[in-house]
A and B are shown apart, each in its own frame.
Chain A
Amino acid sequence: MTKEQRLKKRHNAEKRFRFYGLTSIFFALLFVLILVHNIFSKGSSAFMKTAINVEVFYDKDLLELEPGASEEEILEADFFDITIESLLKVYPAKNMDEEDALIELFTTDAEIEIKKAFLNNKNLIGKKINLEITASDDIDQLHKGNYPRDLPEDRRRISNFQLEIYDVLVENKTITKNFNNYFFKNGDSRDPEIAGIGGALVGSFYSILICLLLAFPVAVLASIYLEEFAPKNKITDFIEININNLAAVPSIVYGLLALQILLATIQLPRSTPLVAGITLALMTLPRIIIPCRASLKAVPPSIREGALAVGASKFQSVFHHVVPLALPGTLSGTIIGLAQALGETAPLILIGMVAFVVDIPSTPIDPSSSLPVQVYLWSESAERGFVEKTSATIMMLLSFLIVMNFLAVYLRQKFEKRWN
């Protein structure tokens, strides 16, 4: 082979490699785009809800309330009758069937919404007010364009009569799209239009907080001891191998362990963020120890020697010099470990977090859901409204993960600048 041929061959090899690399990046980006597009196109509509403008008359006689009634009296009062009265005024219904069909356009929580409006303004008694009452899931989906209205009537959940009302409402502009505060505020529900991730958010927050409080100090101290103080012998080698093994154990195994020990033996309350936090901490521990040790190892030995040479003790050289330098790496490792824990589903299903919980937990020992489990629960539901809610929950989860990962990168870069 001549020199020219060899040169050409080398250049071709470089070009080929560049082509392979660019193709791989193209495909990776393509898949990410497909995923993001899929989730956004399905999920973005969940942040809006459909409401119908209804004139509500707080009839003194129907409510059986006097002006100046106390909060307790109002809470006990029956708003059912005025709710039905108000909703029926939206459109003239000729018979009982049509009345039922009309009422079905609204959420089952219409009565609660009317009651809440009254609680906010107790002077409304005997007065009329226009309220935006949340529409039912079917109308919501229809209004968002997710529901095919050209199907034959017997295959539709919405009757022709209901479609007729809907068209009139659209024409009168009494049907509106608002920001869906229920999605963030409410707990889970069987009715998609009032279901929200409030409970799951709080549950995830408590779980991750407990996970952080348990895993971070243990992981950091274990890493410092193993990396800086422990003698290098067979026992520490064995521990090291097992930490690496534990990091690779499937998360569901930790769920089984928690089920056996935390729930069956210690009898901690089921479905609670407390148990979830402990389980996730067990799972996250080796995943924090590994980056933590790596960042301790990355501190140049000359720094340790420098400290020892001026007469610092081992402890002083580690805690005054090595640990502060390893801190950015440690923190970003911890955050990435927590981000993994935040998205973990399998162990939480085993410890009963998959239960249907409507209430928003106020303490870590209340039954609760969590974001990934909520995704799992809703993805199994038949109602169309849950499809968009599933994707919207994934969007929330992804945005938390992205924020956490950015924080990790930011911390690492910010603190690493200091010693270069």
Chain B
Amino acid sequence: MNNVKIKSKNLNVYYGEKQALFDVNLDLNEKEVTALIGPSGCGKSTFIRCINRMNDVIDICKVSGNIEIDGVEINDKNLDVVSLRERVGMVFQKPNPFPKSIYDNISYGPKIHGKGETKSELDEIVENSLKKAALWEEVKDRLDEPGTGLSGGQQQRLCIARAISVNPEVILMDEPCSALDPIATAKIEELIDELKKTYTIVIVTHSMAQAVRVSQKTGFFHLGKLIEVGKTEKIFKNPDNKMTQDYITGRFG
């Protein structure tokens, strides 16, 4: 059992009047993949957006409760979100490369954080990030071409490379394969397996099969509540809660 990296305690999230998360208590382990499953609108994306404070962008969103990373409270008004997001990267549902060259897509993060002072250091970061994202071989000869010109699966791996480029500790993935075909999905899943050696990964997914394939731990959300959490094997073979059972067997959702 790995150490706990992220710990949420009594986390409540409100969008205006509407409450999106109710008292979520969830521990995420270091260097492990945690999958969050549940029907649409159940709050799993809201939960991971709390971990890198992306919800700050939404004016009407209010977050209460605690989230600790390595024992340090991040829901603190005085915390610098920029350095938090340097530690906690994110990959979105729809690939969103910057409309710039492949090189610039990767080098942007390191540049703004002052990593890679020289051109050769930056080149190295770009190459390493792309290699880790299993994209290097496909794009090494066309780093100057726009990232938006790649295929969907390549774009998503480019976004993963972009997240890796600032050397984070945690990578949040919000349904990273929902816009991809099965082959691209398989590549990303392979990649996730590789990445968990270095990073703590949280992945939101609608695919049970994917959760089984990639994760060690699974949390099931329903209507803003964390219904059940446990080892992936257990959740899918022998869940404690009837609702979890119904969801994974496809009786609702």
Q: Chain A residues in contact with chain B, CB under 8 A?
A: 231-232, 300, 302-313, 316, 320-321, 325, 418-420
Contacts and interface: CB of A to CB of B under 8 A. Distances in A.
A306 B99 contact: no
Given A310-B163, A316-B112, 6 more contacts: A231-B59, A306-B96, A306-B98, A309-B90, A310-B162, A419-B99
B57 A306 contact: no
Contacts, number: 67
A309 B86 contact: no
Interface string B143-173: 0001010000000000100110110000000
A248 B89 CA distance: 46
Interface of B: 52, 54, 57, 59, 82-83, 85-86, 89-90, 92, 94, 96-99, 108-109, 112-113, 146, 148, 159, 162-163, 165-166
Contact of A325 (B82, B86, B99): B99
A312 B96 contact: no
Given A309-B92, A311-B82, A232 B165 contact: no
A309 B148 contact: no
B98 A307 contact: yes
Contact of B165 (A305, A310, A316, A325): A310
A391 B112 CA distance: 57
Given A311-B83, A311-B86, A306 B162 contact: yes
A88 to B, nearest CB: 75
Contact of A312 (B82, B99, B159): B82
Contacts of A316: 112
5 nearest A-B pairs in the assembled complex, by CB-CB distance: A419-B99, A302-B96, A310-B109, A309-B90, A311-B86
Nearest to B52: A309
A307 B162 CA distance: 10
A211 to B, nearest CB: 31
Given A311-B112, A313-B82, A305 B54 contact: yes
Given A316-B112, A320-B108, A419-B148, A306 B82 contact: no
- The secondary-structure label for the interface of chain A is helix
13 contacts: A231-B59, A302-B94, A305-B54, A305-B57, A306-B97, A307-B98, A308-B85, A313-B82, A316-B112, A321-B98, A325-B99, A418-B99, A419-B99
Contacts of A321: 98
B89 to A, nearest CB: 7
Contacts of B52: 309
Nearest to B53: A308
Contact of B166 (A300, A311, A325): A311
A321 B105 CA distance: 11
A294 B108 CA distance: 26
A94 B112 CA distance: 92
B48 to A, nearest CB: 11
B86 A308 contact: no
A311 B109 contact: yes
Nearest to A304: B57
Contacts of B54: 305, 308-309
A316 B114 CA distance: 14
Given A302-B92, A305-B54, A320-B108, A311 B98 contact: no
Nearest to B172: A309
B122 to A, nearest CB: 14
B159 A306 contact: yes
A232 to B, nearest CB: 6
Contact of B89 (A231, A309, A312): A309
Contacts of A312: 82, 108-109, 112
A291 to B, nearest CB: 20
A189 to B, nearest CB: 55
Nearest to A419: B99
Given A312-B112, A418-B146, A300 B96 contact: yes
B85 A309 contact: yes
Given A309-B89, A311-B83, A303 B98 contact: yes
Contacts of A313: 82
Contacts of B97: 306
A311 B85 contact: yes
A308 B90 CA distance: 9
Contacts of A325: 99
Contacts of B96: 300, 302-303, 305-306
A310 B85 contact: yes
Contacts of A419: 99, 146, 148
Nearest to B95: A302
B90 to A, nearest CB: 4
A303 B165 contact: no
A397 to B, nearest CB: 38
Contacts of B108: 307, 310, 312, 320
A310 B105 CA distance: 10
A310 B98 CA distance: 12
B113 to A, nearest CB: 6
B15 to A, nearest CB: 14
Contacts of B112: 310-312, 316, 320
Nearest to B91: A309
A313 B80 CA distance: 10
A305 B97 CA distance: 10
In this complex, the member of B82, B89, B113, B159 whose beta carbon has the largest number of chain A beta carbons within 10 angstroms is B82
B16 to A, nearest CB: 12
A418 B155 CA distance: 16
